Structure 1
């Protein structure tokens, strides 16, 4: 093929297409002409690509075709509507659908941690296997409280946010294997039970709960949600249910888990702010604990009430894409 002759013969059409593409407003006839020239240019690009190694010509013609395509489909302006829908519908809907998992994990974990606290409080000799009496007194009397004001508030908030996000992420990511979730939960609950039992047995129980509850209610719930959703993902391939393959069930649950993970980022950020600014604030105990309780109850209402309402409306958490019919080239 004589490339120069081919290009020269169609240069006029390309120039006309370029001119139409640059116009902000087109008449009906010009719009029809733009569609026709776009289809021809796309065909020309295919021919040139298969016969010519000239990168400059290919780049120029590709840019022209892309510009014409963009002119036909229009540019999408950014909208906050998908973000608003995520927080008002998608996230609470997925939290509600997974409620049996994370509520069960929450109840069992609280019972387990509470049992450990009682056990360690009544058996100081067992606590002594992990720390000496002097270390326990130092930690309960000073270090535990000082931990919350050791760093500047904004740095401390970022630190606990990333740490808790790591724990929640591990629960979600390892959910497909099931067993690691129980290990992660047991490890963290054991530490909580040991510290709580040690401080309670040493006479610092009120200090422990005063400093844990303002942020811990929401923080621990976020971890329980992550663990519950992670176990839900793992159960999908163990028992996919009727009319679903294991692969499909796992993909569906994993997708839902990703949506919840995005929500947990915001949830743990709030918990980090509470831990950095409210817990060590020095405000009266009732106010600090009350703030934590109100935020925690707000989350439960958001997940169970707002989520239930979305479920009753038959809402879907599927992403909605704007579909545009493109003229075939």
Structure 2
């Protein structure tokens, strides 16, 4: 069989079927045409598989028939099923796939923060750059602790601020430089404040106020940066995939990561708004933050590994993302 000639003859039917599948509403005649074309294209696919099994064309028609079958048969799963499946499989898979990038970012962030903190705590000139003696004393003795004012409005403000930081890492991920700048800026800020608190003998206060919410909050921001860098690297080294395909797949998975991190940051915001500044014992506050962090990593590592083993990548499914030509390697 001449595959090129076969494709030329039947492409109008395939394109017409694709157009009908994309339409939100069909009248009676169009619904009948959809069923007829579905049967016709199914025959075409069977012919190609038996006579000239071109993998690209087989993938294209298989994807088209899958979407057409859904229109013909209707959706049988309730709407909430997609939401549950997305939260239980797609999101943890996307986060799991950036775990090693996250580890690298965590190590770099801690290194920069510790160096910056030690520098401010031990170098009088660096400490002086943090403000006048009166400003520093007021911040250490009053402002730092007063910032954590329990309440719903404070929790909402914290979540918005942290979500904005994470969004910058996500949105600027394609540049490669953006996530590095955002993460470095935050690492220097956290380290410098900790160093100033240590210089005035209040390092324990700093750790007590940061630990309850900061464990999950900082982790979520670092995962956002790691996901952004992974997207950038997909453009530099796409592997066996075409560069455009790799970038599209990783970009969609990056958005999935952002959805998951929005939930994590909301939880850390609630802890910061209602736990950190509360009258609870410090050991209990820190324990709550530790449990929240452990739950996040259990979600990523346990659920994520299962999802990846089942074939999830964090990307959209073929029906929504479109077919991709098979690639050797």
TM-score (norm 2): 0.73
Q: Does 1:255 align with 2:252?
A: yes
Whether the 8 Å contact between 1:106 and 1:224 is mirrored in structure 2 is yes
Q: Report the CA distance between 1:304 and its aligned residue.
A: 1.3
CA distance in 1, matches of 2:201, 2:234: 46
- How far does residue 190 in structure 1 lie from its aligned partner after superposition? 1.1
How far does residue 201 in structure 1 lie from its aligned partner after superposition? 1.1
Measured in 1, the distance between the counterparts of 2:204 and 2:299 equals 30
Task: Measure the CA separation in 2 of the matches of 1:220 and 1:111.
Answer: 14
Q: CA deviation at 1:319?
A: 4.2
Unaligned runs of 5+ in 1: 1-36, 44-70, 324-329
Runs of 5+ consecutive residues of structure 2 not aligned to the other structure: 1-26, 34-70, 321-329
Map 1:309-328 → 2, pairs under 5 A: 309-315=306-312, 317-319=314-316
Which residue does 1:124 correspond to in 2? 124
**Counterpart for residue 261 of structure 2:** 264
CA deviation profile, 1:222-276 (whole Å, cap 9, x unmatched): 110000000001111111112x221111101100001011111111100100000
**Using the alignment, how far apart are the partners of 1:40 and 1:317 within structure 2?**
35
Deviation, 1:188, is 1.2
For 1:111, the equivalent position in structure 2 comes to 111
Deviation, 1:79, is 2.2
Q: For 2:129, what is the secondary structure of its paired residue?
A: coil
In 1, Cα distance between equivalents of 2:292 and 2:76: 37
Deviations 1:24-71 (A, max 9, x none): xxxxxxxxxxxxx9228999xxxxxxxxxxxxxxxxxxxxxxxxxxx9
Residues 1-329 of structure 1: matches in 2 within 5 Å?
38-39=28-29, 78-149=78-149, 153-242=151-240, 244-315=241-312, 317-319=314-316
Q: Is the 8 A contact 1:175 1:234 kept in 2?
A: yes
Could you say what secondary structure the match of 2:255 adopts?
A: helix
Contact kept in structure 2, 1:214 and 1:289, CA below 8 Å: yes
By how many angstroms is 1:90 displaced? Answer: 1.0
The separation in 2 between residues aligned to 1:40 and 1:316, in whole angstroms, is: 36
Q: Verify the 8 A CA contact 1:124 1:201 in the aligned structure 2.
A: no
Secondary structure of the 1:80 match is: helix
Is the contact between residue 216 and residue 268 of structure 2 (CA under 8 Å) also seen in structure 1? yes
Hey, what's the Cα distance between the residues in 1 that align with 2:94 and 2:173? 16
- Kindly report the root-mean-square deviation, in angstroms, between the aligned alpha carbons of the 2 structures: 2.4
Conserved in 1, the CA contact under 8 Å of 2:212 and 2:287? yes
Q: Assess if the C-alpha contact under 8 Å between 1:229 and 1:257 holds in 2.
A: yes
The 2-side partners of 1:72 and 1:240 are apart by: 37
**Counterparts in 2 of 1:312 and 1:41: CA distance versus 1, 3 Å:** closer
SS of 1:148 mapped into structure 2:
coil
Under a length normalisation based on structure 1, what TM-score does the superposition of the two structures give? 0.73
- Aligned mates of 2:198, 2:142 — CA distance in 1: 15
C-alpha distance in 2 between matches for 1:188 and 1:316: 29
Q: For residues 305 and 41 of structure 1, do their structure 2 counterparts lie closer, same or farther at Cα, with a shift above 3 Å needed? A: closer
Residue 111 and residue 311 in structure 1: after superposition, are their counterparts in 2 closer, same or farther (change >3 A)? same
Q: Cα 1:72–1:99, aligned 2, differ >3 Å: closer, same or farther? A: closer
